[in-house]
Amino acid sequence: MRDDRIEAKREADALDEPAREARELAERLGLEPYPVRYWVVDHDQMNELIAYGGFQRRYPHWRWGMNYERQRKKDRHGLGKAFEIVNNDDPSHAFLQESNAPADQKAVITHVEAHADFFANNEWFGLYADRGEGGPNAAARLERNADRIASIAKRGDVDRDEVERLVDAVSALEDTIDQHSPVDAARSVEEPGIAADVSDGDEDPVAAIEARIDDLDLSEEVRRDVFDDEWLEARGEGVEPETPRPDVLAFLRDHGKRYDPESGKAIDREPWETTVIDAIREEAYYFAGQKQTKVMNEGWATYWEATMMGGEGFAGPDEFLTYADHMARVLGSPGLNPYKLGFELWTHVELRAARREVIDKLLRVEGVTPENFHSRIDLDEVADLLEPHPAIAAAGPATLDELADLAAAGDSRVDAEAVDRALSARDGDDEASDDIDVERYPWKLLTREGLAERHYVLSRPEHRGALRNVSREALEEQARYLFDVDRYETVEEAIADVDRAAGWERMFSVRESHNDVTFVDAFLTDEFVREGNYFTYEYSQAAEEHRVASVDAEDVRKKLLLRFTNFGKPTIVVLDGNFRNRGELLLGHRYNGVALDEERAKATLKRAFELWGRPVNLATIRVEYDDGAVRRAKRRGEEPDGTEVGVRLQYDGGEVTEHDLDESVRERITADEVDYDTKPDDWLA
Amino acid sequence: MGLTEDRERFREVGETRRADLSEFISHGDLGGSGADRIRIPIKVVDLPAFEYDQRSAGGVGQGGDGQPQPGQPVDPEPGDGDEEGDPGEEGGDHEYYEMDPEEFARELDEALGLDLEPKGKQVIEEVEGDFTDTARSGPRGTLDVDEFFKRGLKRHLATDFDEAYVREGLFVDGADVDDVFAWARDQGTPVSRAWIADAAATVADEAGEPVAALDRWESFEALDDGVDREPVTHRIRREGLDSVPFRSEDERFRHPEVIEKRERNVVVINVRDASGSMRETKRELVERVFTPMDWYLTGKYDAAEFRYVVHDAEAWEVDREEFFGIQSGGGTRISSAYDLVEELLTEYPYSEWNRYVFAAGDSENAGSDTRDNVIPAMESIDANLQAYVETQPGDGAANARHADEVESAFGDADDVAVARVSEPDDVTDAIYEILSTESGGGGGAPDGATVARRTDGGEHR
């Protein structure tokens, strides 16, 4: 991918400074990104990278070919130009489209820096990154998988189509993992038995083993000692799990066999098959982190991009319009747009935390109580007091002297050393060797505290009214846990104590611990739903079309949670590995009121059979509508009531058959406590 | 390993290997395209997974303006807009990509090395061009306001003069109205004697003595030295333009230039055998060949009309929606269709229309109908191009000779093409075969790639 064409090089050189400065600004704002390597690629290379999920080498598979065809057509017909793609690794690699306008490149760089911070600090990513290898090592891992699977596919004794078929089967089940746990180290590909399968009979086995040893590092050796054959065998006992196991893939890997059509029996897998399963499963764990945090991650990147590009003038005045247009397009794309949803939720998090901090201080002013808050406190005065210090707000060449005065007084908002250097540069003092360009990068004069004041959320025009909107209930709630009231004599004193970085602090801690599910659950408020005009829709059996169901915040949240929980897929667990005492597999769909797509479920069941080698079963619940009931409901303008029927689907290599579901199994898959239905009672009236 | 190989494998999936995946392949259908927009189906292999039933799951949408009312019908959301690349995410399901017919025609030209130059037929109408000519009369709405204003302003400039300056002339020692008039006219000032006389009377009133007695200036020379004339344009700039004299003789009315336009019209008559032997796969093959050719010609010509004729032993006209689906039970007499085609074409005189007649079927025909009736009919029809597309011939039937007979009758004629399609892979070759028959007449030699393609196509014969 290293590109030595002159044009790309020129572009790459021009990006050195923005990349360096963006990193410095990001760090000054408190971000702690992984190092990022920037590459400039042409559109065809970009299409290829996108096809391969942001990595240069993946295992051989038709899927990448399909992605490429699709992306190429999108690109060619202007349906979706990709500005960048960044992969989650330490260091991260970001690939920027050569044809981006300079303003786009800068925007993309700031965006990427924030992604790299998210990768490095979000603990859901950490589940993969902190598995004892000192980082994600993603590119190296995927490359190793690529080599392994490619060499298996090349073996004379292995049918290449069989390898591909196995990859497809595992891929069909790639979301049935336990994404809330770290990738199980025991099942990573460095396992005993590997050496035998990577080497073709014709190859020199010693060389193959040596190549493998090169790949190993210490922690992997340690792992090998811990999780040896004996340990694996010990795990083999659990074919009848007491509690349902969410990691279906792991179960299939550990206890599955392959079906031999000739003998009609299940036989043990070839070692290479286990290698392939492990590789794909391991990648599923790697990508689970990003699938679980898409809204947060894109919103986070968009937030900091906006702060750096717009707020800090990282786009030059001549580039600002291009940038604003770029941003408008990103935020304006239709549908449930993760950039927009995430950006809005993050701003909401910031605003609420900042407001809380101000109210906390105001409630400590002598004589102020929740009851008299709105009458005693002059919120206009508060707004004025919260305005950033003029020299901080307008930091730059014109305010150098003022900033110098502040620095001399030991003000922690000012970077005294930077101000000093800027002053010497201005006064023509040649000793200042590395001049700082305060005209272009005024933020260099400020500390994080200063920047927090400069970008203070409650001083932004669109959020001025936020304090006024706080209800008495909210005030009372907050006052209940307040000690040390009457700390301040005046409002002025109280505001002087306000931590302007409170909003950011809250955001940083949220970005560490949340994923999309918890993020939406915790921060999607009524206010948010109302202002964004969000609504839920449902399919009406009576009207035979989709209808708006609810505009209630609680309902919108429920529906969004359905979309984000478990990658928006139904939860499938292993109920029994020795079903009916015949070694059959029983999977259970944990029914939450939303039915399965049965056609696709049946097709997936066939893939599971390939990994189990014996008959496979799926327990689920389906909602049936009686024709008469539908007709009656239509007449009355109502929605018919469906009947929930337990079903067991079975596949034994022939046809998928349908059976009644045992009541005891049904009880194990029904989840009563959740309800994602948002249809109102008098919906169609 | 690598992209080339992965693309190749993808192309083969479900076609030459991995039949287990064929049920997950969707090509999309060829419908859904309009006159200005073509939706090209692309191959998508959608691996199954445990998923929610879409209807059961419902969803969340965002109202554009205001919150919608519960109960209001909605389209499930159109799909997420992913502008920037998202790591690890596979894109939404774009089973189509869209282009306009002109772009499609360009792409096909490029891909197949075609060179079809649409013919402009005789002048069929005089089209109004831009409103660039002007006349002195016309409807109010076409008044050229710019021109009107400019002329008025010119007139204003021509008649305007520095009144203060001329008035000052009255203060020259001993000068009377006539002296001042002579002086002003010498200066090229567009002032009338009457104006000066009026001004003199006013000045005399104010001063209380006749103008000849006023002696602020010794002579006109002294006045010229002492007073700066202010050019009209400066004054207009300073004081603004209070009034521009608009007169009717300044009015100019715009009218459109008359352009003779050779319109490139095309009429395409699609003919299809709907007899009992035309089963589903054959019908689909016809659709796969005809639809892109329709798009192509739509893209090439300014105006395209399509007529659809189906026949068994009789022929009748249908709409496009019905055309590809109809199956009747009867026998086959292809000439019935050509009778109808001739009748339809009378609506499209050859002097004004480019005509294309595309017929398709499985080559079965009744008795000697082809020789006795169809070939004479084809000879008598004036058309840029006629084609017969044979789909999956000879389900053993001995009378499936139509294509062969047409081919031998017309040989290498550049206005009759015969193409044979027995599986979807042949479609491109058939389209090339047909469209290159016309363009090949006047076009350049096909490049190497094209030659190779034709050779490939030949294998099926």
Residue A656 pairs in a beta bridge with: A651
How many other C-beta atoms lie within 10 A of the C-beta of residue A257?
Answer: 17
State residue B328 phi and psi, 5-degree precision.
-110, 180
CB contact under 8 A, A572 and B68: no
CB contact under 8 A, B59 and A595: no
ipTM of the complex: 0.84
Residue B303 pairs in a beta bridge with: B265
SS3 state of residue A319: coil
Q: Quote the CA–CA distance of A450 and A504 in Å, as a whole number.
A: 13
B97 contacts in chain A (CB < 8 Å): 73-74, 77, 79
By Cβ distance, the residue of B3, B17, B54 closest to A68 is: B3
Chains A–B, number of C-beta pairs less than 8 Å apart: 274
A88 contacts in chain B (CB < 8 Å): 87-88
Question: Is the pLDDT higher at A331 or at B197?
Answer: B197
Polymer length of chain B: 461
Mean pLDDT lowest among A540-544, B118-122, B300-304: B118-122
Q: What is the pLDDT of residue A297?
A: 94
Check pLDDT > 60 for residue A169: yes
Q: Taking residues A489-516, what's their average pLDDT?
A: 94
Best of A111, A600, A682 to substitute, by most chain B Cβ atoms within 10 angstroms, is: A600
Asked if residue B453 is part of any domain, the answer here is yes
CB contact under 8 A, A85 and B43: no
Check pLDDT > 50 for residue B111: yes
Band of residue A121 on the pLDDT scale cut at 50, 70, 90 = very high
Check pLDDT > 70 for residue B30: no
Q: Quote the CA–CA distance of A464 and A585 in Å, as a whole number.
A: 60
SS3 state of residue A36: strand
B86 contacts in chain A (CB < 8 Å): 85, 290, 294, 298
By Cβ distance, the residue of B53, B74, B84 closest to A597 is: B53
| Domain count of the fold of chain B | 3
Give the tens place of pLDDT for each residue, B180-221.
888 888 877 778 888 888 888 888 888 777 777 777 878 888
In chain A, which residue's Cα lies nearest the Cα of B50?
A601
Closest by CA position to A149, among listed A170, A127, A123 = A170
Does residue A556 contact residue A535 with C-beta atoms inside 8 Å? Answer: yes
Angle at the Cα of A406 from the Cα atoms of A405 and A408, rounded to 5 degrees: 65
- Closest approach of chain B CAs to the CA of A483, in angstroms? 42
CB contact under 8 A, B49 and A74: no
Q: Taking residues A427-447, what's their average pLDDT?
A: 76
* Nearby residues of A540 by Cβ (< 8 Å), 6 or more positions away: A546, A547, A639, A683, A684
How many other C-beta atoms lie within 10 A of the C-beta of residue B245?
Answer: 12
Instruction: Check whether residue B318 and residue B239 sit in a common domain.
Output: no
Pick the last residue of a domain from B254, B288, B310: B254
Instruction: Check whether residue B231 and residue B314 sit in a common domain.
Output: no
By Cβ distance, the residue of B51, B70, B97 closest to A683 is: B70
Check pLDDT > 50 for residue B447: no
Question: Is the pLDDT higher at B37 or at A566?
Answer: A566
B67 contacts in chain A (CB < 8 Å): 530, 533, 535, 551
Instruction: Check whether residue B282 and residue B249 sit in a common domain.
Output: no
Band of residue A228 on the pLDDT scale cut at 50, 70, 90 = very low
By Cβ distance, the residue of A65, A546, A550 closest to B6 is: A65
Instruction: Check whether residue B285 and residue B235 sit in a common domain.
Output: no
* Nearby residues of B460 by Cβ (< 8 Å), 6 or more positions away: B420, B422, B426, B429
A534 contacts in chain B (CB < 8 Å): 60-63
CB contact under 8 A, B7 and A68: yes
Q: What is the pLDDT of residue A71?
A: 81
Pick the last residue of a domain from B254, B280, B309: B254
CB contact under 8 A, B58 and A538: yes
No. of H helices and E strands in chain A? Answer: 31, 12
Q: What domain range is B9 assigned to?
A: 1-48+93-98
SS3 state of residue A22: helix
CB contact under 8 A, B1 and A82: no
Six token digits for residue B391:
């789909």
Check pLDDT > 70 for residue B39: no
Q: What is the pLDDT of residue A240?
A: 60
How many other C-beta atoms lie within 10 A of the C-beta of residue A380?
Answer: 10
CB contact under 8 A, B70 and A680: yes
Six token digits for residue B282:
């054959």
Q: Quote the CA–CA distance of A254 and A248 in Å, as a whole number.
A: 10
Question: Is the pLDDT higher at A219 or at B152?
Answer: B152
Closest by CA position to A198, among listed A261, A153, A243 = A153
For A594-646, the DSSP string reads --B-HHHHHHHHHHHHHHHSS-EEEEEEEEE--HHHHHHHHHHT-PPPPEEEE
Q: Taking residues A380-388, what's their average pLDDT?
A: 92
Q: CA dist B291 to A83, B40, B229, B306, Å?
A: 35, 11, 78, 11
Asked if residue B69 is part of any domain, the answer here is no
Instruction: Check whether residue B214 and residue B268 sit in a common domain.
Output: no
Instruction: Check whether residue B315 and residue B394 sit in a common domain.
Output: yes
B42 contacts in chain A (CB < 8 Å): 69-70, 73
Question: Is the pLDDT higher at A213 or at A270?
Answer: A270
CB contact under 8 A, A601 and B90: no
Q: CA dist A304 to A30, A113, A346, Å?
A: 11, 9, 10
Q: What is the pLDDT of residue A469?
A: 84
By Cβ distance, the residue of B47, B60, B94 closest to A172 is: B47
Asked if residue B360 is part of any domain, the answer here is yes
SS3 state of residue B222: helix
Burial class (CB in 10 A: 0-12, 13-18, 19+), B75: exposed
In chain A, which residue's Cα lies nearest the Cα of B64?
A533
Domain CATH number, residue B356: 3.40.50.410
Asked if residue B133 is part of any domain, the answer here is no
Q: What is the pLDDT of residue B44?
A: 78
Does residue B320 contact residue B308 with C-beta atoms inside 8 Å? Answer: yes
Give the tens place of pLDDT for each residue, A612-642.
999 999 999 999 988 888 888 888 878 888 8
Does residue B310 contact residue B365 with C-beta atoms inside 8 Å? Answer: no
Closest by CA position to A386, among listed A463, A479, A323, A295 = A463
Check pLDDT > 90 for residue A172: yes
Which helix H or strand E contains B385, and what residues bound it? strand B385-391
How many other C-beta atoms lie within 10 A of the C-beta of residue B239?
Answer: 8
Across A534-550, b (16+ Cβ under 10 Å) vs e yields: bbbbbbbbbeeebbbbb
Asked if residue B209 is part of any domain, the answer here is yes
Instruction: Check whether residue B247 and residue B284 sit in a common domain.
Output: no
Check pLDDT > 60 for residue B448: no
Q: CA dist B422 to A127, A345, A484, B312, Å?
A: 55, 57, 88, 21
For A106-141, the DSSP string reads HHHHHHHHHHHHHHHH-HHHHHHHTSSSSS--HHHH
Six token digits for residue A525:
């408020």
Best of A70, A97, A145, A327 to substitute, by most chain B Cβ atoms within 10 angstroms, is: A70
Instruction: Check whether residue B398 and residue B329 sit in a common domain.
Output: yes
Q: CA dist A262 to A73, A169, A266, A267, Å?
A: 44, 20, 10, 11
Band of residue A402 on the pLDDT scale cut at 50, 70, 90 = very high
Would you give the DSSP letter of residue A33? P
CA A439 to chain centre: 36
Q: Quote the CA–CA distance of B263 and B354 in Å, as a whole number.
A: 10
CB contact under 8 A, A62 and B59: no
Give the tens place of pLDDT for each residue, A59-82.
999 999 988 887 877 666 555 567
Q: Quote the CA–CA distance of B242 and B247 in Å, as a whole number.
A: 16
Six token digits for residue B457:
């196509």
Average pLDDT, chain A: 84
Instruction: Check whether residue B277 and residue B236 sit in a common domain.
Output: no
Q: What is the pLDDT of residue A49?
A: 92
Give the tens place of pLDDT for each residue, B346-401.
888 888 888 889 999 888 888 888 889 999 999 888 888 889 988 876 555 666 78
Give the tens place of pLDDT for each residue, A15-28.
888 899 999 999 99
Q: CA dist B109 to B30, B35, B297, B388, B450, Å?
A: 20, 19, 11, 21, 11
Give the tens place of pLDDT for each residue, A555-565.
999 998 998 88
Angle between helices A294-306 and A102-121 (to 10 degrees): 130
Q: Before A91, cis peptide (omega within 30)?
A: yes
Instruction: Check whether residue B230 and residue B274 sit in a common domain.
Output: no
A533 contacts in chain B (CB < 8 Å): 62-68
Would you give the DSSP letter of residue A91? S
Does residue A195 contact residue A209 with C-beta atoms inside 8 Å? Answer: yes
Angle at the Cα of B210 from the Cα atoms of B204 and B216, rounded to 5 degrees: 85
Q: CA dist A177 to A194, A251, A314, B304, B452, Å?
A: 23, 10, 42, 56, 50
Pick the last residue of a domain from B213, B234, B254: B254
Q: CA dist A629 to A639, A641, B235, B331, Å?
A: 9, 8, 88, 48
CB contact under 8 A, B76 and A569: no
Beta strands A616-624; A643-651: pairing state:
antiparallel
Q: Quote the CA–CA distance of A71 and A48 in Å, as a whole number.
A: 8
Closest by CA position to A98, among listed A221, A13, A182, A177 = A13
